[in-house]
Structure 1
Amino acid sequence: MTEFNLESLSSIGPKEFAQLVKSTPDSKIGEIMASDSRGKILDEVFNRMPTLFRAEKAGDAQAVIHWIITGPNGASNTYETVIENGACTVTNEPVRDPKLAMTMDAVTFLKVVAGDGNPMMLFMTGKIKAKGDLALAASIAKLFDIPKA
Structure 2
Amino acid sequence: MSQTLDTLRSRFDPQAASGVQEVFQFHFSDADDHYVVINDGTLDIQPGEHDDPSVSLSMSTDTLKGIISGEVNGMTAFMTGKLKATGNIMLATRLNEIFPSN
The answer, yes or no, to whether TM exceeds 0.5 is yes
Please say if 1:88 is aligned against 2:43.
Answer: yes
Match of 1:104 in 2: 59
The Cα of 1:108 is off from its aligned counterpart by 1.4
Match of 2:6 in 1: 47
Give the Cα–Cα distance (whole angstroms) in 2 for the partners of residues 122 and 95 of structure 1: 23
Q: Which 5+ residue runs of structure 2 have no aligned equivalent?
A: none
The Cα of 1:94 is off from its aligned counterpart by 3.2
What's the CA shift string for 1:45-80, capped at 9, x where partnerless? 113322311111122010111111102xxxx42111
More strand by share: 2
Match of 1:67 in 2: 26
Letter in 2 for 1:55: P
Identity percentage of aligned residues: 25
Find the structure with the greater CA-based Rg.
Answer: 1
The verdict on how the C-alpha distance between 1:110 and 1:51 changes in structure 2, with shifts beyond 3 A counting, is closer
The verdict on how the C-alpha distance between 1:106 and 1:49 changes in structure 2, with shifts beyond 3 A counting, is closer
The range that moved more, 60-69 or 101-110, is 101-110
Give the Cα–Cα distance (whole angstroms) in 2 for the partners of residues 111 and 119 of structure 1: 9
The Cα of 1:131 is off from its aligned counterpart by 0.5
**Which of the numbers 121, 130, 136 marks the counterpart of 2:91?**
136
Please say if 1:127 is aligned against 2:82.
Answer: yes
RMSD: 1.5
Partner of 1:55: helix, strand, or coil? Answer: coil
Partner of 1:131: helix, strand, or coil? Answer: strand
TM-score normalized with structure 2 length: 0.89
Kindly indicate whether the alpha-carbon contact (under 8 Å) linking 2:32 and 2:48 is maintained by their aligned counterparts in 1.
no
Match of 1:4 in 2: none
Kindly indicate whether the alpha-carbon contact (under 8 Å) linking 1:47 and 1:90 is maintained by their aligned counterparts in 2.
no
TM-score normalized with structure 1 length: 0.63
